[in-house]
Amino acid sequence: MAFGLVKKILPAWQNAVLALIAAGLLILAFPDFEFWFLAWFALVPLMWAVERQKDSVAACFTLGWIFGTAFFFGTCWWLTYAPIHYAAFPWPLAYFLMLLVSLAVGIFPAIFTTILAVLIRRFGSWAFLAAPFVWVFTEFLRYWLTGNNWNAIGYSQAFQHFFFAAASVGGSLAVSFCLVLISSAAVFFLKNKERKVVFSVG
C-alpha cells in the first residue's frame, strides 16, 4: 500500500527532468547570470511536464515542488553567506537550512502545477491560457502568507524596458503575468500543433 502511494506521488523521471530544466532556465534569468530573456519561455518545460503527467494530480504537485525547490535554492543560495561568515555556522548546516527553506517556498509552484493539472483534465489545452492567472495567484499567495516575494519571475526583467508599461500598472505581478503568458501561449501552440499532426497521420 505504501509503495502504491509513493508511486502515485512520484512523477515519471522524464517529467522530473523537464521540471529541473525549467528551474535551470529560470535560475539563469536571475543574478548572477542575468540571461533575462530565458524567463520568457522558462516555464515551457514545466507546463509540458504537467501536460504529460496530468493523469496524476499528486505527481503534478511533486513536479512543481521539484521545480520550486530547485529554483529557490539556485537563486537564494547566497543567503548562506551571513550564517557561515558572521554566525560561524558550518557550511553544510547553512546549506541544509537553505534547502529546508527552499522546500517550504517550493510548495507555491507546486500549487500552480496542481491547479494547472486539474484545469488541463477539465478543459484540455485551453487550460494553458489560464496559467498566467494561476501563476500570479500563487506569487501573490506566497507574498500574503510569508510577507516575502523574492525572486518573483517578474523581477528577472527589472532592467529591461519591454514590460515597463505592465510594471507601471501592476508592478512585478503584471510582469510575471506577461512572462507566463508567453510560455503558456507557446505550450498551447505546441499542444495544438501536436494534435493536428496526430489527426493528419491518423
Domain segments of the chain: what residues?
A: 2-201
Averaged pLDDT score across all residues of the chain: 92
The pLDDT confidence band at residue 54, using thresholds 50, 70 and 90, is very high
The pLDDT confidence band at residue 2, using thresholds 50, 70 and 90, is low
Cα(51)–Cα(70) distance, integer angstroms? 20
Q: Pick the range with the lowest mean pLDDT from 4-13, 40-49, 107-116, 193-202.
A: 193-202
DSSP state of 10: S
The answer to whether the peptide bond before residue 32 is cis (omega within 30 degrees of 0) is yes
Residue 199, pLDDT score: 44
What pTM, to 2 d.p., does this model score?
Answer: 0.92
Cα(50)–Cα(125) distance, integer angstroms? 11
pLDDT higher than 80, residue 197 = no
Yes or no: say if 195 and 124 are a contact pair by the CB < 8 Å rule.
no
Helix intervals (H) in 29-106: 44-53, 57-76, 81-86, 91-105
Cα(89)–Cα(12) distance, integer angstroms? 37
Mean pLDDT of 142-168: 89
Cα(128)–Cα(47) distance, integer angstroms? 8
pLDDT digit string (tens) for 69-121?
999 999 999 999 999 999 999 999 999 999 999 999 999 999 999 999 999 99
Mean pLDDT of 146-164: 89
pLDDT higher than 60, residue 201 = no
Query: Counting beta carbons within 10 angstroms of the beta carbon of residue 154, is it exposed (0 to 12), middle (13 to 18) or buried (19 or more)?
Result: buried
